[in-house]
Amino acid sequence: MSNTGINTDNVVVITGGSRGIGASTALEAARRGLGVILTYNASPDAAHALVREIVGTGGKAVALRLDVAAVDTFAAFRVEVEQALAATWNTARLAGLVNNAGYGLFQSIAGVTEAQFDGLFNVHLKGPFFLTQVLLPLLRRGASIVNLTSATTRVATAGVAPYAAFKGGLQVLTRYMAKEFGEQGIRANSVSPGAIRTELGGGLNDEFEALLSAQTALGRVGEPEEVARVIASLLTDDGGWINAQDIEVSGGYVV
């Protein structure tokens, strides 16, 4: 893949970009000529390896550490983003933000602890809210925000109630972002993956994958790159007239 035509005004931040859907989105964004600032928390080696892969194919990427549950670090993170934009792309603006970082928890409502509830809330709703708020002044006119939600907001699946509830909140927040940021020419959409082959929630064993495949119209689970292509399209002019929408990418999960 070649990125010789990179536009220095087209740089995006992708949280949780070291693995899974985030990593695939970083690669796909780079293939489409976007500069990438990807964040990691617990996987620095994977993040820096991904940066080397992008750079090795002619793209530009930077990896920055970010704990999306630590709102008090966001101001310092913004400074790091500004420094990376200036040093690597000679620009001061962002073209996009992908709020992707997250983790899963399988536990019945009866068994969820307050600490587990708060952890999921901080990462999946509070973090994206305040990170978007902090980075908003850096987003240029025509920028795109993509929030990763989940098909579990449409289909009730026992054991994921807090996760699904906060992803549902993020879907609602997305529409409000689109409404409030529209005057600045900034779009906001959410992408809701179905059953995808990632490490979220501990990954898939053969039995669980067979169950999910049987519940999906196309008869299999999805791959991270299949979600990444949809996210990347929303970050480019291909998705320029798509706004305030939730796009489910599930292969027809429970239809």
pLDDT tens per residue across span 97-139: 999 999 999 999 999 999 999 999 999 999 999 999 999 999 9
Whether the CB-CB separation of 38 and 47 falls below 8 Å is answered with yes
Residue 3 pLDDT: 45
pTM of structure: 0.95
Residue 58 neighbours by CB distance under 10 Å:
15
Q: Could you say which DSSP state residue 196 is in?
A: B
Whether the CB-CB separation of 187 and 239 falls below 8 Å is answered with yes
Catalytic site residue from 40, 103, 163, 176: 163
Average pLDDT, the chain: 95
- Catalytic residue list contains 176: no
pLDDT tens digits, residue range 227-239?
999 999 999 999 9
Residue ranges of domains in the chain, CATH in brackets: 11-248 (3.40.50.720)
Residue 8 pLDDT: 58
pLDDT class of 198 with cuts at 50, 70, 90: confident
